[in-house]
Chains A and B, each alone.
Chain A
Amino acid sequence: MRSGEQKLPHLFQPGQFGRFKIKNRIKYGACCVSNYNTRDGFITERELARVKVIADTGCGIITNQGAYPDPLGEGKAYFRQVAIYDDKFLPQFEKIAAMIKDQGAMAIQQILHAGRYGGIDLGYCVQPSDVPQTLPHFRPPKIMTTEEIRDCVRQHADAAKRCIRAGFDGTEITSFMGYLLANFNSRFTNQRTDEYGGSIQNRGRFMRELIDGIKQATPDNPLIVRLNGAELMDKWGGNTEDECFELMQQAVDCGVDMISVTVGWQEAPESSIGRDIPPGYWNYLSERAKKTFPNTLITFGNRLPDPRMANDCIRDGVFDFWEVCRPLLADPELIHKAAEDRLDEVRRCVGSLNCLSRLFRDLPYTCTMNPALGHEVEPEYHVTPTTVKKKIMVIGSGPAGMECAITAAKRGHEVTVFEKTGRIGGNLYAYAANDLARPDDLHSIIRHYEAVAKRVGVEIRLNTEVHAKFMRSVLHQYDVCVVAAGATIDHDSHCTVEGHELMIDALDVAHGRVKTGSRVVIVGGGKIGLTVGESLRKNGAEVTVVEREKRIAGDIKPSFKWRHASWVDELGIRCLTSSRPTRITTDGVTVLNDKGEESFVPADTVLLAASRKPAHDLLHEFEWMVDELHGIGDAVVPRGLEQAIQEGFRLGVRI
Chain B
Amino acid sequence: MNSAALPDPQAWRAAAAARPELFQALDEGARIGLIARSAPAQMLVWEAAAGGPGACLATFPGYANAGVDLLMAANDSALGDIVAVARNGLFDVLRAGIRSGEVVCYMLRRRCDLEALGYEELLEALGFAFMGACR
Q: Measuring CB to CB, which residues of chain A are less than 8 angstroms from any residue of chain B?
A: 130-140, 177, 235-237, 264, 266-274, 276, 353, 356-357, 359-360, 551, 553, 558-559, 561-566, 569
Contact = CB atoms under 8 A, between A and B. Distances in A.
Contact of B133 (A135, A235, A270, A569): A135
Contacts, number: 102
A360 B131 CA distance: 12
A266 B133 CA distance: 5
B36 to A, nearest CB: 13
Contacts of A360: 132-133
B102 interface: yes
A553 B130 contact: yes
B110 A269 contact: no
Nearest to B114: A136
B20 interface: no
Contacts of A266: 133-134
A562 B134 contact: no
A256 to B, nearest CB: 25
Interface in B98-135: 98-102, 104-111, 114, 123-124, 127-135
Contacts of B101: 235-236, 268-270
B135 A563 contact: yes
Contacts of A359: 133
B62 interface: yes
B129 A269 contact: no
B114 A236 contact: no
B62 A130 contact: yes
Contact of B107 (A135, A274, A563): A135
Contacts of B64: 130
Interface in B64-104: 64, 71, 75, 92, 95-96, 98-102, 104
The interface centre, meaning the residue of A134, A140, A553 with most chain B CB atoms within 10 A of its CB, is: A134
B108 to A, nearest CB: 5
Contacts of B95: 569
Nearest to A271: B135
A132 B63 contact: yes
A195 to B, nearest CB: 22
Contact of B132 (A131, A140, A357): A357
A133 B123 CA distance: 15
Contacts of B63: 130-132
Contacts of A271: 134-135
A273 B106 contact: no
Contact of A136 (B75, B96, B128, B134): B128
Contacts of A137: 110-111
A350 to B, nearest CB: 15
B46 to A, nearest CB: 17
B106 A269 contact: no
Given A136-B109, A269-B100, A235 B131 contact: no
The number of chain B residues touching the other chain, given as a range, is 20 to 34
A279 B109 CA distance: 36
Nearest to A235: B101
Given A132-B106, A133-B106, A134-B105, A272 B135 contact: yes
Given A137-B110, A360-B133, A551-B129, 4 more contacts: A132-B71, A135-B132, A559-B135, A562-B130
Given A235-B100, A551-B129, A356 B124 contact: no
B93 to A, nearest CB: 11
12 contacts: A130-B62, A132-B63, A132-B107, A136-B111, A136-B128, A270-B135, A559-B133, A561-B129, A561-B130, A561-B132, A562-B131, A563-B135
B72 to A, nearest CB: 10
A134 B111 contact: no
Given A269-B101, A566-B99, A133 B132 contact: no
Interface string B9-39: 0000000000000000000000000000100
A360 to B, nearest CB: 5
A356 B64 CA distance: 30
A356 B130 contact: no
A271 B102 CA distance: 15
Contacts of A559: 132-135
A267 B134 CA distance: 7
B132 A562 contact: yes
Nearest to A129: B63
Contacts of A565: 127, 130
A564 B131 CA distance: 11
Contacts of B98: 269
A166 to B, nearest CB: 29
A236 to B, nearest CB: 5
B135 A562 contact: yes
Nearest to B71: A132
Nearest to A595: B21
Nearest to B107: A136
Contacts of B96: 569
B134 A273 contact: yes
Contacts of B104: 134, 236
- Of A235, A273, A559, A561, most buried by chain B (CB within 10 Å of CB) is A235
A132 B111 CA distance: 13
Q: Among B95, B123, B132, which residue has the most Cβ atoms of chain A within 10 A?
A: B132
Contacts of B107: 132-136
A273 B135 CA distance: 7
Given A269-B98, A269-B99, A177 B134 contact: yes
B130 A136 contact: no
Contacts of A134: 104-107
A140 B134 contact: no
The 6 closest A-B pairs by CB, nearest first: A235-B101, A269-B101, A136-B111, A562-B130, A132-B106, A271-B135
Nearest to B96: A569
A132 B64 CA distance: 8
Contact of B102 (A140, A235, A276, A551): A235
